[in-house]
């Protein structure tokens, strides 16, 4: 009886291994999504100096996200180990996730030690950067796993929407890396980790446009040119960002209407992609998506530009005043490089999609 | 023809998006009123004349009578001291953040700029900080001072609200200027040998 049940569970694992791998990849991505949402919310709470305890809602998101990712990587391993076909093709996803989860879980004790020695830390610190890089790796691993599963199984259009769960954590965690390297939120009593203002200016002006364009055109390619998926991904990004960075600050609540306008370029990009997928059209869309980065990354991107262009003290109720004071000057300086980086994002997304889908 | 109309309407919508996002809405938001916090305080000395070795108490009740303040600061400076040592002890403190101790030579903000313009501290001080402070909420900051030398012992007290959007966003509005080029009220106690 015991041997029989063992054999049947072995058969189950073998039959369902690829599906278990997909569940593992999806949970890894979902976990990172929770961590990034909690992280963005936590930054807002720190800026507003809201009383912080370990049991705050942003922390609950972050820690449950790590747990979900960990379960995801374990399921990925179980699924991968029992795979009978595509084992090599899925190995890259598993390997990247394993590195990511190692960094992610290792960052916790490192952060505890860091806090014990140096007190409060800023946005950029060795443990935080380890955490963000771990998140990025996990999300990349999850994205590759989900994309390959959908390709190998010729998934129908409805299951392609799973790609949104695959790409959004990559976009958000990569945004976290760029923010760490460009926002002036990392000065503490012990260390001055604030990026040099000119370098921060350059990093933000080049990396954000590239990332928006890359994320939105990549999902379009991974989904085999599914209409609507770009708009949904863009809309979800705006929803997450507005609910974690704008809504919690009552002084900025009215600016949600300004921020929601950013859905327009995403929808238009989607329509253009449906109508014409020529190189010129793709480049135009990349340039368009790159050009709106200052609006899409409202409000915190302002801190980077304020450092070098105004140097004002920005308390929470002044955030949007300084942001709007800067908007035209920032676009004047950054529009052309942002458009170029948007175009580069399109080119890179083509190469990346080919690598992911093994075309 | 249908494709052309879709393109045309898309470009019109994009044009409107950029005009609204870059020109119209920013101007609208910049025209809205900024918050004007109005910090005030009442400070009371327990004694104005003491014998060397005795202590006196300075009780400060501060309040924000204006709009919501992102940051509310009450600062006590000791121009006759070079170090706080055990001369000054905090007796009551109900601000939301821990007190900040400033030593001589430390780089500090000046001219109500909130740190954009800076200078170096010429004497020690303690800053009590609440982030944020709603209107009409009282905060308390009381210190017990035991001077170590005889003579006149001065204490500088001021309060600042951030955003510092008006001349009423600091208190007092005029009078003696301190090392930060900011107005203070001076409280003096004679310490007899």
CB distance from B135 to chain A under 8 Å? no
Partner residue facing B29 (CB), from A315, A324, A331: A324
Residues B99 and B186 in one domain: yes
**Whole-angstrom distance, CA of residue B26 vs CA of residue A325:** 7
Confidence of residue B1 (pLDDT cuts 50, 70, 90): confident
**Whole-angstrom distance, CA of residue B127 vs CA of residue B102:** 8
Residues B17 and B71 in one domain: no
**Whole-angstrom distance, CA of residue A313 vs CA of residue B169:** 15
CB distance from B12 to chain A under 8 Å? no
Question: Tell me: the pLDDT tens digits for B50-64?
Answer: 999 999 999 999 999
Structure-model confidence comparison of residues B148 and A108, the more confident one:
B148
Residues B43 and B14 in one domain: no
C-alpha count within 13 angstroms, C-beta hemisphere, residue A249: 29
Residues B43 and B109 in one domain: yes
CB contact burial B121-156 (16+ within 10 A = b; e otherwise):
bebbbbbbbbbbbeeeeebebbbbbbbeeeeebbbb
Confidence of residue B85 (pLDDT cuts 50, 70, 90): confident
Determine, for residues B162 and A311 on separate chains, whether the beta-carbon distance falls below 8 Å: no
Question: Tell me: the pLDDT tens digits for A229-262?
Answer: 999 999 999 999 999 999 988 888 999 999 999 9
Q: How far apart are the first and last CA of chain B?
A: 99
Residues B28 and B62 in one domain: no
CATH label of the domain that carries residue B112: 2.60.40.1510
**What DSSP element (H or E) covers A157?**
helix A157-160
Determine, for residues A315 and B10 on separate chains, whether the beta-carbon distance falls below 8 Å: no
Q: What is the span of the domain harbouring residue B126?
A: 39-192
Residues B17 and B56 in one domain: no
Determine, for residues B30 and A325 on separate chains, whether the beta-carbon distance falls below 8 Å: yes
Chain A hits for B6, CB-CB cut-off 8 Å, are 271, 275
Concatenate the DSSP letters of all residues of B18-29 into one string.
HIIIIIIHHHHH
Cβ atoms of residues A50 and A186 within 8 Å: no
Residues B153 and B80 in one domain: yes
Cβ atoms of residues A326 and A309 within 8 Å: yes
Cβ atoms of residues A88 and A358 within 8 Å: no
Partner residue facing A261 (CB), from B21, B114, B132: B21
Residues B89 and B149 in one domain: yes
On the question of pLDDT at B193 being above 70, the answer is yes
Structure-model confidence comparison of residues A251 and B162, the more confident one:
B162
Cα A64 to chain centroid, rounded: 17
**Whole-angstrom distance, CA of residue A322 vs CA of residue A194:** 20
Cβ atoms of residues B76 and B186 within 8 Å: no
Residues B103 and B25 in one domain: no
Residue ranges per structural domain of chain A:
9-184, 196-359
| Secondary structure of residue B133 in the 3-state scheme | strand
Structure-model confidence comparison of residues B85 and B119, the more confident one:
B119
Residues B132 and B53 in one domain: yes
Confidence of residue B180 (pLDDT cuts 50, 70, 90): very high
Residues B7 and B64 in one domain: no
Determine, for residues B17 and A320 on separate chains, whether the beta-carbon distance falls below 8 Å: no
CA A62, A68, A74, A80 torsion-angle sign: negative
As averages over each run of 10 residues, the pLDDT of chain A (359 residues) reads 61 79 96 94 81 72 93 96 89 96 91 81 88 96 96 84 96 96 88 93 98 98 94 97 90 92 97 94 97 96 95 88 96 98 98 91
Chain A hits for B34, CB-CB cut-off 8 Å, are 317-318, 321
Concatenate the DSSP letters of all residues of A37-65 into one string.
HHHHHHHHHHHTT----TT-HHHHHHHHH
Q: How many domains does chain B have?
A: 2
């Amino acid at each position: 009886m015991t041997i029989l049940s063992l054999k049947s569970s072995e058969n189950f694992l073998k039959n369902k291994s690829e599906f278990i791998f997909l569940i593992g990849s999806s949970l890894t991505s979902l976990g990172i999504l929770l961590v990034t949402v909690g992280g963005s919310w936590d930054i807002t709470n720190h800026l507003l100096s809201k009383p912080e305890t370990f049991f705050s809602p942003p922390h609950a998101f972050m820690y449950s996200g790590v747990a979900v990712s960990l379960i995801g990587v374990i399921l990925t391993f179980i699924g991968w180990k029992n795979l009978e076909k595509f084992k090599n093709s899925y190995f890259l996803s598993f390997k990247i996730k394993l590195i990511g989860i190692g960094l992610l879980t290792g960052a916790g004790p490192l952060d505890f030690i860091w806090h014990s020695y140096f007190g409060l830390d800023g946005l950029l610190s060795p443990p935080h950067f380890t955490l963000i890089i771990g998140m990025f790796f996990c999300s990349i691993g999850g994205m590759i796993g989900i994309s390959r599963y959908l390709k190998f199984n010729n998934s129908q259009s409805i299951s392609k929407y799973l790609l949104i769960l695959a790409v959004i954590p990559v976009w958000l965690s990569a945004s976290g890396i760029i923010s760490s390297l460009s926002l002036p939120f990392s000065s503490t009593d012990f260390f001055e980790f604030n990026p040099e203002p000119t370098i921060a200016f350059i990093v933000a002006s080049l990396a954000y446009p590239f990332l928006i364009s890359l994320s939105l055109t990549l999902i379009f390619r991974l989904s085999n040119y599914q209409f609507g998926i770009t708009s949904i991904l863009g809309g979800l990004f705006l929803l997450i960002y507005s609910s974690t960075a704008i809504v919690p600050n009552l002084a900025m609540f009215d600016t949600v209407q300004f921020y929601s306008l950013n859905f327009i370029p995403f929808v238009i990009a989607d329509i253009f992609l449906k109508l014409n997928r020529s190189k010129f059209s793709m480049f135009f869309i990349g340039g368009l998506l790159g050009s709106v980065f200052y609006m899409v990354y409202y409000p915190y991107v302002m801190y980077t530009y304020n450092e070098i262009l105004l140097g004002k003290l920005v308390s929470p109720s002044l955030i949007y005043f300084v942001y709007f004071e800067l908007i035209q000057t920032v676009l004047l300086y950054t529009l052309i490089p942002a458009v170029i980086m948007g175009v580069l994002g399109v080119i890179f997304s083509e190469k990346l999609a080919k690598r992911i889908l093994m075309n | 023809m249908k494709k052309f109309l879709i393109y045309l309407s898309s470009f019109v919508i994009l044009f409107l998006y950029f005009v609204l996002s870059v020109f119209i809405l920013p101007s609208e938001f910049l025209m809205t009123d900024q918050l004007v916090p109005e910090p005030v305080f009442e400070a009371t000395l327990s004694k104005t004349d003491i014998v060397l070795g005795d202590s006196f108490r300075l009780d400060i009740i501060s309040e924000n009578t204006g709009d919501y303040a992102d940051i509310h600061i009450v600062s006590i400076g000791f121009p006759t001291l070079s170090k706080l040592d055990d001369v000054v002890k905090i007796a009551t403190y109900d601000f939301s953040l821990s007190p900040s101790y400033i030593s001589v030579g430390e780089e500090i903000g000046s001219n109500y700029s909130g740190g954009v313009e800076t200078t170096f501290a010429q004497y020690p001080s303690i800053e009590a900080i609440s982030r944020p402070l709603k209107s009409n909420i009282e905060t308390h900051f009381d210190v017990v001072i035991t001077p170590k030398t005889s003579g006149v012992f001065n204490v500088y007290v001021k309060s600042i609200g951030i955003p510092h959007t008006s001349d009423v966003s600091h208190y007092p509005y005029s009078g003696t200027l301190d090392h930060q080029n900011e107005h203070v009220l001076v409280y003096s106690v004679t310490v007899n040998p």
